[in-house]
Chains A and B, each alone.
Chain A
Amino acid sequence: MSRRALLRTMAAAAVAGHTPAFAQSAPRIVSLDYGLASTLLSLGIVPLAVSDLADWDKWVVEPVMPPSVVNLGSSWEVNFELLVALKPDIILTTPYLDELLPKLKQVAKVVRLEIYAPGIGPILPAAIAATRKLAVAIDRETEAEGFLARADAFFAECRARLAAKSPPLVALVNFMDARHARIYASPGLYHNVLERIGVRNAWTEESNYWGFQTIAIENLSRVADPDARLIAFEPVPADVLPKIMQSPLWQSLPFARPGHLSILPPALMFGMVNEAMRFGRLLTDLLDPKE
């Protein structure tokens, strides 16, 4: 059984096993952040509603969000009429939505968790701390420790698998158009995962607190290591690959050699522990393919 299938089964089991019991006892929780929503699932709670749910499968993909969850509308313009009608007990939010705080507090108890904020530093430790805080706030501390221990074990396993392979340096990008890309670096989530699983980031410049930098594609030549690999994530705009393949500059970059460019399914770059694990799994499976 593949890792992904296993995780999916576990998530499904958690949902199927717990939902009926929760119907009476579990707090009604709304999440205004993808990472917090997936963390809720891992703590054994199905959120009542999540913002921007329509794009969940495009950016987060897993864990699968049960169909009962309500879409709250745009993540920066949460639908308040809907929110009030849902009568939640707790609303989970992030510094990104601080300007909504006063209004959110009128609706329900607000739990604000800092993961992406100026000066907060490496994202993965911040996400782990936020997971613990969340667990305290919703009384799921045992589940959280279990979940974080699984995450630790998972990263350790990835690290062990890759150590045997002496993995190449990787540069991580999202192509924006045929001339520009976002590249992921310290202190971002992807970068922290690379450190955890013992892979070196080929992009050594420090980026903004979200962990990315916008570059023109020729700047990929600043990647010094000739054996580095380029990992791009879906969605890749349709015209990008054909166009850059025609560029002699691209042809001269190390990434143009066969096997040095990989396209991975989407993994949320602004997520929490689940998203870190998904990224770690996608990357580990890519660098150490299992038959």
Chain B
Amino acid sequence: MNRIFGRFALGPAIVALAFLGAGALLSWFLIAHTLEAKSHAGYDVPRMVLFYSTLPRLATALLAGAALSLAGALLQQVLRNPLADPTTLGISAGANLALVVTTLFFPGLLELGRDLVALGGSAVVACLVMSLGARRGFSPFSLVLSGLVISLWCGALSAILTLLNERYLVSLFIWGAGSLAQQSWVIPVSLLWKTAVIAILCALVMRPLSLLDLGEGTASALGVRLVRLRFIVVGGAVALAAVVTSAVGVIGFIGLVAPTIARLSGARRPQQLLLWSPLIGAGLLLIADAAIQLLAGELGEFLPTGAVTAIFGSPLLLLLLPRLKVRHRVLQLKERAHSWAPAGTNTLAVALAVLLVALVVAAFVGRGIDGSWGFPHAALFGDIIPMRLPKVFAALSSGAMLAVAGVILQRITGNEMASPEVLGISAGATFGVTIAVFVFVPGLAGQLTFAAIGALLVLAMILLSSMRSGLAPERVLLAGISLSAMVDAIVGVLSSTGDPRAVLLMRWMSGSTYSVDARSATTVTIAAAILTAAAFFARRWLDILPLGPSPALAVGIPVRKSRFLLFGLAGLMSAAATLSVGPLTFIGLMGPHLAREAGLVRALPQMAGAAAIGGALMVLADFIGRTIVWPYQIPAGLVSALVGAPFLMMMLRRKS
């Protein structure tokens, strides 16, 4: 009897039943009025809707919930990481981006099957995230961090590609936000057999998988082939996520929530986790979807389920953070990795020269009425140059601030993947603009104010929530990025309603210097000068803090206070920069690395070099964006992201 209870834990069973029961009850509210109505002979649309839309939709919710939760449970088990799921590892977003790119540019490939395309995208992202994870011994933080960064990047790029290509095509937004709407049984039936096949395959590796609980060393000693096991299980989870994404779009965080609830309710052994998580997940998504349908019926609004689950799921990440053990990793300060790197001062001189050239080109070269390249016509010189200069200076200041903020973040967190957008500040600014645009409809000044309020609120929240953990660096980053995911989801919901104001948000998120004028350029330039100078003053802290808390305390640096101030400084810089170039801020990741690769190792030279490099890159990105598809314009943030992505991948692959 005890054995049966041990294997068949009562807690998770009760919870799963409760969720499924609640879901069934809500579903009953949805369908009851149809069932109670008398059946007409012949033309009976309500009944048809019930059989071919409502019921398949409920089935799809159950199956998608189960599949994603199984994927989450598998990933959590095999990576030994309680935060892993298809959303946090970027797998769903990868599938979605692959589908968007294929739809827009290679529609022919879709005939091969959406599943294959989605699987390709998921696999690429999974490989990227895993290869980074492998380098770090699959550290939970680094896996989730890189997964979420890639996920946000994929989401932003999907949205921008859609925006640039099709004026009224918002269907891809709907997809990105995950709608469960159905008009036949085709999708649930295919989900059923695909999920079943993958689940059976995974059941075959259950025994070695459960041995992993004994620790990797013991498991290998007992004959578990770790690499093969990881490959099979991760592959299965990726396939599950890809199947769901290709069918209904991105459904956020279910795969994180369900296994967590299963574990909290007492599922400890892997078998229990893998059995109960899918059932709990199925119940959860059923509840969410039925509730959304009831609510949407009331509001008369279209609400995509996936984005709504993300809005409620991402705060869970914040709540789960204290459950993770934190180890501070000491940043390896590499001494001049490359022989080509010249001495520090020379490097700085070169960086400044490049910056100067970039400034001159961006300010004076442009395209004329007929699209020809060249300097502005003499008669127009006085009109056009004052128009370009604010953009050039806004790009310069933002790039410099992001890069310096990146240096600060990477140094105090010891995490070379840290960058301003990872902190969530940009997300806060975006959220502020969202409220401004949808609630108050103010002009540009109002939007800027709201962006600043949003950015500072997020900063305050991050600082407060991580105060208890002594501002443990990785926790701060993860808190920031889960906020980004939430804001992303909210914007997803708003965009998918098809409201034309969503275009404003999309524009904001794509990071364009378009609305910069002389006044805002001056403001951001002054802010850049002051904040960068402040960062330069903090150079001693930044030289010592990367060595870890103990050495810092030994030389008399107040660790808590200095971290607080530095996070605040980086936050302000990110907020100010986001206001002009949007939340896609890969410059903040690239600048510090390029400076260090070029031989600028200590804090002050690294910050100065990063500022010059970041500024130059952003100025060039802005210039390219303004001229390359004349008379249309690509936002600077997108251009810099397009450059930043390969850079990010390079960094992920590089052996340390």
Residues of A within 8 A of B (CB): 52, 55, 58-59, 70-74, 76-77, 79-82, 84-86, 96, 98-99, 102-103, 118, 174, 176-180, 182, 205, 208, 210, 212-218, 221, 226, 237-239, 244, 246-250, 252-253
Contacts of A226 in B (CB 8 A): 43
Q: Once the chains bind, are A216 and B179 in contact (CB under 8 Å)?
A: yes
Q: How far apart sit A247 and B186, CA to CA, in the bound complex (Å)?
A: 8
Complexed CA–CA distance, A214 and B179 (Å): 12
- Stretch touching chain A among B23-31, B195-203, B616-624, B629-637: B629-637
Closest Cβ–Cβ distance, residue A149 to chain B (whole Å): 32
Contact A99:B444 (CB < 8 A) given known A84-B384, A238-B107: yes
Among residues of B, the one whose C-beta sits closest to the C-beta of A103 is B517
B residues apposed to A, CB below 8 Å: 43-46, 48-49, 51-54, 107, 110, 167-171, 174-175, 179, 181-184, 186, 300, 302, 366-369, 376-377, 380, 383-384, 387-388, 441, 443-444, 447, 496-500, 503-504, 507, 512, 514-515, 517, 630-633
Q: Would you give the shortest CB distance from B624 to chain A, in whole angstroms?
A: 15
Q: A58-B167, A85-B369 are in contact. List 6 more A-B contacts (CB 8 A).
A: A79-B631, A103-B517, A176-B170, A179-B181, A249-B48, A252-B52
Let me know if A177 and B171 touch, CB within 8 A: yes
- Chain B residues, CB < 8 A from A180: 171, 174, 179, 181, 302
The 15 listed contacts between A and B (C-beta, < 8 Å) are A72-B631, A73-B631, A74-B632, A77-B632, A96-B500, A177-B174, A180-B179, A210-B500, A215-B302, A216-B179, A216-B183, A218-B183, A248-B51, A249-B51, A253-B48
Question: Are B167 and A55 in contact, CB atoms less than 8 angstroms apart?
Answer: yes
Question: B514 and A216: CB pair below 8 A?
Answer: no
**Interface residues of A: mostly helix, strand, loop or mixed?**
mixed
Q: Are A221 and B498 in touch, CB under 8 angstroms?
A: no
Residues of B within 8 A of A247 (CB): 52, 183-184, 186
Q: How many A-B residue pairs have CB under 8 A?
A: 137
- Contact check, A99 vs B171: say whether CB atoms are below 8 A apart: no
* Complex interface: chain A residues within 8 A of B443 (CB): 98-99
CB < 8 Å neighbour of A218 from B53, B376, B512:
B53
Contact residues in B for A76 (Cβ distance below 8 Å):
503-504, 507
Max chain B Cβ within 10 angstroms of own Cβ: one of A216, A246, A250? A216
**Nearest Cβ in chain B — how far from A66, in angstroms?**
16
- Return A249 CB to nearest CB of chain B, in Å: 4
The contact of B300 among A99, A205, A250, by CB within 8 Å, is A205
With the chains together, A210 CA to B175 CA distance in Å? 23
Contact status of A213 and B302, CB under 8 A, knowing A85-B384, A177-B174, A237-B171: yes
What distance in Å separates the Cβ of A215 from its nearest Cβ neighbour in chain B?
6
Contact, CB under 8 Å: B167 / A84: no
Q: Smallest CB-CB separation from A212: which chain B residue?
A: B498
A286 nearest CB across to chain B (Å): 22
Contact between chains at B184 and A249 (CB < 8 Å): yes
In the complex, which residues of chain B have a beta carbon less than 8 angstroms from the beta carbon of A177?
A: 171, 174-175
B182 adjacent to A218 (CB under 8 Å): yes
Residue of A nearest to B635 (CB): A77
What residue in chain A is nearest B52 (Cβ atoms)? A249
With both beta carbons as reference points, the residue of chain B lying nearest to A52 in the complex is identified as: B167
Distance of A18 Cα from B126 Cα, bound (Å): 63
| Contact across chains for B181 and A176 when beta carbons are under 8 A apart | no
Determine whether the beta carbon of A249 is less than 8 Å from that of B302. no
Closest A residue, CB atoms, query B175: A177
Q: Decide if A218 touches B380 in the complex (CB within 8 Å).
A: no
The answer to whether B183 touches A250, judged by C-beta atoms less than 8 angstroms apart, is yes
Which residue of B has the minimal Cβ distance to A84?
B383
Tell whether, in the assembled complex, residue A82 and residue B48 are in contact, meaning their CB atoms are under 8 Å apart. no
Among B302, B376, B447, B498, find the residue whose CB has the most chain A CB atoms closer than 10 A.
Answer: B498
- Please indicate which of the listed interface residues A79, A178, A180 has the most CB atoms of chain B within 10 Å of its own CB: A180
A59 to B514, CA, bound (A): 25
Query: B369: which A residues are within 8 A, CB to CB?
Result: 70, 82, 85-86
Chain A residues lying within 8 Å of B500, measured Cβ to Cβ, are 96, 210
The answer for the CA separation of A238 and B499 in the assembled complex, in Å, is 24
**Chain A residues within an 8 Å CB radius of B517:** 102-103
Would A182 and B498 be within 8 Å (CB), given that A176-B174, A253-B45 are in contact? yes
